[in-house]
């Protein structure tokens, strides 16, 4: 009898064991890929309206069970019920709605306007599903960051094998149940559980695409393994997202945004505000307001923020704080564990007197820590904000639209908010993703849907002529004729007018 290894699942807020899942081996992962591939033979041939109907059924099934979904998320992550409902269930429902409304048009064959060849040719592009997509999802938003690539893949006609984080595997199991019970096509989502071994087996298991959300180091390993089979990847990795507060900002709004943007989900968000650069004229006012607002945050299961989720991440928070204090930073509020609440509870923390020699300003902290740095002007703020290997999200705060757009255009990030934060992920029509070490590819938006497809170029001949100008044999005068045609079509002046005439 073969013994099956298991992974114990613990509620971080209480420390209690809430379940266990199998640590699947390579053979079990391959079997899941095979089941998904068999399901693809049917799912991939369905017309978009049929797939849309099935996915809307799954959404309705989810909405009928929101309390159970939220409870599962909370018990595995330690976040509050409101946070789970808003940042996980709401954004998932909205994304499904967006693709249901816009996906069919985005994926239908599209005519392509080319040059003069269009007179005798009919060129267009078609979007075809890839096959089986592997989704390896993280523990910080185990529902939303699973459903985002998963529903994008399904709307595009692919099937999915999901490997949830071993820290929050029961949410992944729940996702599988939503599709197996809410959809007529039961096998379009397969769930495999386990640690790194299961993830390795999945990446190397013959899938047609890998979507990974997690750390930079693990993302590089996923990409290297996928490169062996030339399997395309979408990587959503770390962030060290800067906030720039300019001297004409609405300081009250900026302070409110900073507190929510830094401490939501205990700072365990890839687009958390992880460092703030504030112009000198408003620095003191901003710090005072942020500190006062931070002191009012209620930490409890039903409060403003819950516990942290992953013990090694809490250790990173403490290590970054110790390094910063040793190098001259001051903790003005927070900085300690909440032993009265449990082992994984940590106070929202504000740091001042920080600089870029400190880990807290260079490395991803991924916890409830907000370091605030005074800068002399906009130029220094931009230089420091861009002085990072990361480039996921960012924000700029100013009452001037022109100034906001100018600074946004100079920030090296895949996403920028002006006078807001974190909201960029929640707008389903916007593509989401990073630059530099923050990842490759995009989720959400039309780009997130077409990224799950193989784009095929098709050219049809319109008239059926016996021979084309450029086919063999090439007669002696053909070169001169071609030269005259090229100059007539592409010389500035007459060429522009002629091409416009040919385009109609």
Note down the domain range covering 278: 241-430
User: Is 349:324 a contact under the CB 8 Å cutoff?
Assistant: no
Q: Which helix (H) or strand (E) holds 316?
A: helix 311-326
User: Is the predicted pLDDT of residue 140 greater than 50, yes or no?
Assistant: yes
pLDDT value for 117? 64
Residues 296, 154: one domain? no
Residues 195, 256: one domain? no
Residues written for the chain: 504
Residues 21, 145: one domain? yes
- Cβ neighbours of residue 108 under 8 Å, at least 6 residues apart? 48
Q: What CATH number is attached to the domain comprising 225?
A: 3.40.605.10
Number of domains the chain is built from? 3
Summarize pLDDT for 207-232 with one digit per residue, the tens. 999 999 999 999 999 999 999 999 99
Q: Percentage of the chain with pLDDT > 90?
A: 91
Residues 495, 359: one domain? no
Q: Please give the distance of CA 321 from its chain centroid, rounded to a whole number.
A: 27
Q: Assess if residue 62 is contained within a domain.
A: yes
User: Is the predicted pLDDT of residue 1 greater than 50, yes or no?
Assistant: no
- Rounded to 10°, the helix 144-155/169-182 angle is 40
Which pTM was predicted? 0.95
User: Is 404:416 a contact under the CB 8 Å cutoff?
Assistant: no
- Cβ neighbours of residue 161 under 8 Å, at least 6 residues apart? 29, 32, 33, 36, 132, 133, 134, 135, 189, 190, 191, 192, 202, 205, 207
User: Is the predicted pLDDT of residue 379 greater than 50, yes or no?
Assistant: yes
Summarize pLDDT for 32-89 with one digit per residue, the tens. 999 999 999 999 999 999 999 999 999 999 999 999 999 999 999 999 999 999 999 9
User: Is the predicted pLDDT of residue 162 greater than 50, yes or no?
Assistant: yes
Residues 176, 69: one domain? yes
Residue 490 pLDDT level (bands cut at 50, 70, 90) = confident
Residues marked as catalytic: 236, 270
Tokens of 261: 């943007």
Of 52-66, 101-115, 139-153, 279-293, the range with the lowest mean pLDDT is 101-115
Residues facing residue 417 across a β-bridge: 395
Residues 211, 306: one domain? no
Residues 139, 214: one domain? yes
Rounded to a whole number of angstroms, the CA Rg of the chain reads 26
Q: What is the mean pLDDT of residues 481-491?
A: 86
Tokens of 140: 């910080």
Q: How far is CA 8 from CA 23, 78, 185, 340, in A?
A: 10, 16, 30, 25
Summarize pLDDT for 287-328 with one digit per residue, the tens. 999 999 999 999 998 999 999 999 999 999 999 999 999 999
Residues 419, 277: one domain? yes
For residues 494 and 410, the model is more confident at: 410
Residues 282, 161: one domain? no
Residues 260, 218: one domain? no
Q: Assess if residue 1 is contained within a domain.
A: no
First to last CA, the chain: 74
Q: What CATH number is attached to the domain comprising 316?
A: 3.40.309.10
Summarize pLDDT for 433-468 with one digit per residue, the tens. 999 999 999 999 999 999 999 999 999 999 999 998
Q: Assess if residue 463 is contained within a domain.
A: no
Residues 298, 426: one domain? yes
Longest dimension (CA), the chain: 92
> CB-based burial of residue 93 (10 Å sphere; 0-12 exposed, 13-18 middle, 19+ buried)?
middle
Residues 33, 125: one domain? yes
Tokens of 376: 């002399």
């Amino acid at each position: 009898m073969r013994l099956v290894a298991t992974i114990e699942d613990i509620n971080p807020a209480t420390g209690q064991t809430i379940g266990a899942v199998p640590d699947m081996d390579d053979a079990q992962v391959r079997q899941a890929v095979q089941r998904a591939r068999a399901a693809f033979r049917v799912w991939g041939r369905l017309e978009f309206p049929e797939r849309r109907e099935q996915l809307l059924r799954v959404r309705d099934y989810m909405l009928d069970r929101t309390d159970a979904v939220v409870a599962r998320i909370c018990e595995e992550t330690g976040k509050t019920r409101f946070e789970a409902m808003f940042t996980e269930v709401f954004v998932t429902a909205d994304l499904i709605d967006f693709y249901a409304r816009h996906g069919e048009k985005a994926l239908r064959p599209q005519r392509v306007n080319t040059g003069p060849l269009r007179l005798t040719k009919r060129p267009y592009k078609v979007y075809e599903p890839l096959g089986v997509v592997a989704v390896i999802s993280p523990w910080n938003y185990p529902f939303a960051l699973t459903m985002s690539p998963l529903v994008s893949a399904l709307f595009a006609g692919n099937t999915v094998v999901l490997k949830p984080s071993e820290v929050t595997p029961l949410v992944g199991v729940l996702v599988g149940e939503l599709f197996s019970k809410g959809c007529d096509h039961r096998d379009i989502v397969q769930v495999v559980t386990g640690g790194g071994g299961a993830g390795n087996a999945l990446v190397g298991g013959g899938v047609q695409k890998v979507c990974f959300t997690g750390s930079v180091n693990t993302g590089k390993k996923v990409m290297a393994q996928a490169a062996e089979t030339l399997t395309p990847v979408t990587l959503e990795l770390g962030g060290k997202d800067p906030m720039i507060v300019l001297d004409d900002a609405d300081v009250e709004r900026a302070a409110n945004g900073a507190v929510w943007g830094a401490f939501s989900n205990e700072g365990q968000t890839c687009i958390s505000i992880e460092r703030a650069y504030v112009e000198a004229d408003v620095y003191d006012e901003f710090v005072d307001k942020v500190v006062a607002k931070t002191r009012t945050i209620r930490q409890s299961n039903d409060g403003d923020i819950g516990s942290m989720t992953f013990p090694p991440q809490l250790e990173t928070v403490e290590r970054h704080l110790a390094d910063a204090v040793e190098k001259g930073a001051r903790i003005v509020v927070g900085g300690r564990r909440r032993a009265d609440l449990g082992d994984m509870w940590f106070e929202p923390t504000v740091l001042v007197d920080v600089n870029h020699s400190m880990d807290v300003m260079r490395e991803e902290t991924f916890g409830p820590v907000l370091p605030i740095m005074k800068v002399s002007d906009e130029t220094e703020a931009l230089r420091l904000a861009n002085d990072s290997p990361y480039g996921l999200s960012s924000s700029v705060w100013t009452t001037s639209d022109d100034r906001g757009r100018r600074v946004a255009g100079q920030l090296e990030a895949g996403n920028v908010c002006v006078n807001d934060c974190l909201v960029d992920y929640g707008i389903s029509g916007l593509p989401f993703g990073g630059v530099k070490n923050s990842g490759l590819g995009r989720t959400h938006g039309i780009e997130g849907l077409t990224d799950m497809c193989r784009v095929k170029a098709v050219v049809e001949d319109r008239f059926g002529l016996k021979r084309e100008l450029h086919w063999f044999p090439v007669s002696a005068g053909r070169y001169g004729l071609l030269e005259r045609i090229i100059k007539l079509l592409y010389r500035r002046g007459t060429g522009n007018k002629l091409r416009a005439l040919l385009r109609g």
